Structure 1
Amino acid sequence: MKGLKKKRRIQVLLVAAIALAGSTALVGYAMRDGINFFRTPSQVSELPPAPDEVFRIGGLVEEGTLARGQGETIRFKVTDGAASVPVSYAGVLPDLFGEGEGMVGTGRFVDGEFRATEILAKHDESYMPKEVVDALKEQGVYQEPDAELATN
């Protein structure tokens, strides 16, 4: 009787472990397209990602590069101070999007151009996405918003 209980307990633990591993694998498989890595323009320039890889890029919209083409396509360059990457986007830009402002885009890097499917801009005058702030700090071009107000 004791051996049968022990055997049944081991079987239950084995089934539970297999179920846990299976559910973890299913969750990972379902999320494979939902995980987008963040890259700076410098990282994209140094090691361009594959054309089928979806990722996020962030930085400042370079001054003098925002051009609205025929139709809905908008072209501009995003920079982190060290490198610039051309971006094209077909769609409606956020209201607060503009030159010299922070942005994060989601899309693919194809033929030397980032083709964005989504563009996010800051939502007020002092906000910038954390990833963009960190990247700009690494490049040494970021100034705290309070420091800008003190100098004005």
Structure 2
Amino acid sequence: MRLREVVQYESKLDHLFQTVENIDDFEMQAHWAKYLCVLCSGYMEKSVRLIYSDYVHKRSSPQISKFVGKKLGGFQNAKVEKIIDLAKTFDDQWANDIDVSSQGQVKGAINSIVANRHNIAHGQDTQITVARIKEWHIESRKLIRIIESHCGVAAP
């Protein structure tokens, strides 16, 4: 069964995307696109941490679980390369699966979310739109599903 926190985060984002699509003011939509980009970046970071933490928690002693949880707490800027490096610490095949599966649109989407979040955080202009960030978010979910499958988290 999927982790409740990941599903809740996805539902929150789905609701916000639906709400924002009904806004007619283009300037307001541009502001929302930035906010949604930051949330989508957070979704990637938090989901990766939660899934791997849950995996370790179910299979390890409390001490090991605590250690890994602390280490995962520092996982930020979830570009595909960093996710692959993290997966490799668990299993080389997982890292390879992520590398192969994320080529093309998935990798471009995730890395674009992170790059734009970085620009937003540093006050730089971005040209993202709500439609574009929604496309990227849909692609990013594909990688989360791969990680879930590695960790034995199946969709209900």
Instruction: Please confirm whether the aligned pair reaches a TM-score higher than 0.5, indicating the same fold.
Output: no
TM-score by length of 2: 0.23
Which structure shows the higher strand fraction?
1
Structure (1 or 2) with the larger CA radius of gyration: 1
Which structure shows the higher helix fraction?
2
Greater relative CO (CA pairs within 8 A, separation 6+)? 2
